[in-house]
Amino acid sequence: MGYPDQRFAVNLSILFTELPLLERPAAAAAAGFSAVELWWPWTDSPEPGQSELDDLRKALGDSGTRLVGLNFYAGRLPGPDRGALSVPGEESDRFRANIDVAADFASSVGCKALNALYGNRAEGVDPAVQDELALQNLVAAARAADRVGAILLIEALNEAESPLYPLVSAPAAIEVVDRVNAVTGLGNARFLLDIYHLSMNGEDIAAVIDAHTAKTGHVQIADNPGRGAPGTGALPLEDLLDRLREAGYDGWIGLEYKPGDRPSARSFDWLPETARPAR
């Protein structure tokens, strides 16, 4: 029982942001972690130049860190955007342009999980039209992920912070997972179970774990309230992660929390150093 039995990855898009992007993998390694995850790092560019991709690949390699989760292009994160793939026009075009770029980069660094944020509801657009566009783009993303031996993740966010995002419950995200798998026949769409977002939605997290672990491909955590490190809020995170393990989940757990008013390197005191290296 307990944190030492888990596999943790540092989210470098919310932790170590006091450093330039290319310095963050080494900072995570210095803190004792060998696995990291990222939102799409180039928020204004779904197709960054080859030199930018090469530089990030080198930073990961030089630090000895493994990228275990990567978002497809999703607009401005953090910021008002919450995904692009269901937004008609320029944003969905940018998502489609990013699909193979992200998949190929993930493949080049051994990353096996690609997260596709659904996208906000757009004013004046029929939700059914957005949902059909989303399905088309998620199917294309699932096929690209399969091409490089990866899974496609579908994430539920929370309504309080993302009021225009339609997937604000575990069942809503699972429904999309099932729909994508039904169309592709690949079975590589999975649920991204983010404990913080589920708690913000008031869901029974233990019940979600019991019902949906078999369809879960990745987990992310932050405490609530505050989206801080474990122990800064009221969530029984250790118990919930133990429950996940007992339900059969043995994958990565992304540390997607805010460090607070201290340097990121000092936000891991809740986790013994012996529990940090990936195994």
Q: Where are the beta strands (DSSP E) in 201-268?
A: 216-221, 252-255
Beta-carbon-side half-sphere exposure of residue 4 (alpha carbons within 13 Å): 4
**Is 256 one of the annotated active-site residues of the chain?**
yes
Indicate which residue of 155, 161, 175, 246 is catalytic: 155
Q: At what angle do helices 127-147 and 90-108 cross, to 10 degrees?
A: 20
Q: ∠ CA(17), CA(154), CA(257), 5° rounding?
A: 25
Q: At what angle do helices 50-63 and 90-108 cross, to 10 degrees?
A: 40
Collect all residues with Cβ–Cβ distance below 8 Å to 279 and sequence separation of at least 6.
7
**Is 203 one of the annotated active-site residues of the chain?**
no
Indicate which residue of 37, 91, 203, 256 is catalytic: 256
- Rounded to an integer, what distance in angstroms lies between the CA atom of residue 90 and that of residue 166? 20
Per-position DSSP letters for 116-170, written without gaps between them: --B-PPPTTS-HHHHHHHHHHHHHHHHHHHHHTT-EEEEE---TTT-TT-S--SH
Q: Are 208 and 172 within 8 A, CB to CB?
A: no
Residue entry with tokens 């929390």: 257
What residues are annotated to the active site? 155, 256
